[in-house]
């Protein structure tokens, strides 16, 4: 990529469009930074977007949303600035996304340099397609009601840029250990099903494919879904998915949160309190494998230690760690290794997997329960 005659390093996001050999050119347009950079059309108000190469910060919404908004404003190509330095940004636009313009990522330091520049900008991308086979692994106890299944899951894959020890070896290890300790024939009232998902990092493909394979009766038989993705971030937070929808609305609007999800959140908040941690909410923003389940109407929840977002001063006082640094500075990077996880956080959040699975395997009723099968609303997902 060249900006005003200067060549800078950029990396294409997965599923980006390619360009002609001469590339795509236009004036560089720096989109103002705010709480949702490049996530809404309002971010481009009164800006000369048509035909420009737009520069937006990472964060607050999915890459695909930034691309879609930019394309609707007539932007020729999109540059997304990472929130960390000296790393190549990994990311995907999603396999089912209707991508209209080329999208590349640059590091934080490169982004800062570009914000001070002007002049013609050219993006050149050579796109190619490769096919891979990915698999889900599903296992269920032999005991317990098969019309009130408690399901827990974690994704198996990592991005190509990193080993994926926190994202998501931590979640897989916690769910797998829960399955091992539970055994194949535990004395439970409700059957427990474990899902280990393939191709999450390419757009939640494995879990979405699984949910799409289920008919209405099979969907109703799943009482709830628990998602565990990134439990050992090195600057950890202690988040539960926002089942009671107490977070203020942002540019994405109201997320899909099925009835019963609030009870799951309350149960996990209570567990973290027992473990000595005060929970905070994280949004159902569509970035992990719960997404297909919530769209199908299945109550969902889970634990999360944080990713690329920076820990606030308030959160550092609450949980310890370093303020104004990402919860996981190695998110989607080569530094996501065994040396860069927080084992205390993994111990607390990993035990939370067993806590939630164990309680729901015995009882789905009460204040923290979910609707009985006769009151469950489900939606069959149609394959795109």
* Catalytic center residues: 200
* Cβ atoms < 10 Å from Cβ of 249: 10
- Spatial strand order of the sheet with 2-3 comes to 6-7, 2-3, 120-123, 24-30, 53-57, 77-81, 103-106, 11-12
Contact predicate 62/287, CB 8 Å: yes
**329/83 Cα distance (integer angstroms):** 9
Q: Which residues pair with 123 in a beta bridge?
A: 24
Rg of the chain over CA atoms, in angstroms? 21
Distance CA 21, CA 34 (A): 34
Sign of CA dihedral 69, 70, 73, 74: negative
Q: CA 286, CA 264: separation in Å to the nearest integer? A: 18
Residues 6+ apart with CB under 8 A from 251: 36, 39, 40, 60, 61
Select from 314, 315, 343 the least CA-distant residue to 327. 315
The burial class, CB within 10 Å (0-12 / 13-18 / 19+), for 170 is buried
Residue 86, burial from CB neighbour count under 10 angstroms (0-12, 13-18, 19+): exposed
User: In angstroms, rounded to a whole number, what is the distance separating the alpha carbons of residues 65 and 42?
Assistant: 13
């Amino acid at each position: 990529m060249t900006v005003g005659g200067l060549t800078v390093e950029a990396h294409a996001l997965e599923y980006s469009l390619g360009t002609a050999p001469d590339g795509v050119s236009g004036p560089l347009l720096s989109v103002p930074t705010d709480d949702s950079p490049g996530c809404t059309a309002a971010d481009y108000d009164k800006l000369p977007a048509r035909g420009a190469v737009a520069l937006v910060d990472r964060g607050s919404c999915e890459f695909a949303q930034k691309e879609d908004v930019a394309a609707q404003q007539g932007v020729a190509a999109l540059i997304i600035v990472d929130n960390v330095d000296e790393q190549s940004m990994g990311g995907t636009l999603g396999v089912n996304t209707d991508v209209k313009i080329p999208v590349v990522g640059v590091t934080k330091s490169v982004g800062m340099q570009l914000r001070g520049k002007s002049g013609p900008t050219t993006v050149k991308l050579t796109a190619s397609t490769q096919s891979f086979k990915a698999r889900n692994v599903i296992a269920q106890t032999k005991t317990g009601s098969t019309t009130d299944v408690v399901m827990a899951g974690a994704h198996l894959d990592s991005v190509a840029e990193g080993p994926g020890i926190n994202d998501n070896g931590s979640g897989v290890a916690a769910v797998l250990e829960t399955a091992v300790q539970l055994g194949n024939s535990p004395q439970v009232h409700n059957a427990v099903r474990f899902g280990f998902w393939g191709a999450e990092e390419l757009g939640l493909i494995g879990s979405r494919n699984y949910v799409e394979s289920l008919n209405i009766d099979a969907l109703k038989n799943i009482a709830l879904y628990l998602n565990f993705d990134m439990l050992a971030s090195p600057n950890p937070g202690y988040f539960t998915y926002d089942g009671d929808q107490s977070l203020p609305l942002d540019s994405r609007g109201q997320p899909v949160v099925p009835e019963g999800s609030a009870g799951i959140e309350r149960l996990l908040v209570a567990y973290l309190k027992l473990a000595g941690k005060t929970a905070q909410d994280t949004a159902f923003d569509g970035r992990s494998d719960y997404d297909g389940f919530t769209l199908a109407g299945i109550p969902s929840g889970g634990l999360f230690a944080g990713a690329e977002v920076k820990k606030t001063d308030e959160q550092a006082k609450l949980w310890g760690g370093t303020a104004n640094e990402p919860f996981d500075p190695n998110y989607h990077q080569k530094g996501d290794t065994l040396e860069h996880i927080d084992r205390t956080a993994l111990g607390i959040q990993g035990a939370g997997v067993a806590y939630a699975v164990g309680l729901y395997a015995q009882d789905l009723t009460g204040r923290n329960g979910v609707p009985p099968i006769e009151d469950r609303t489900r939606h069959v997902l149609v394959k795109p």
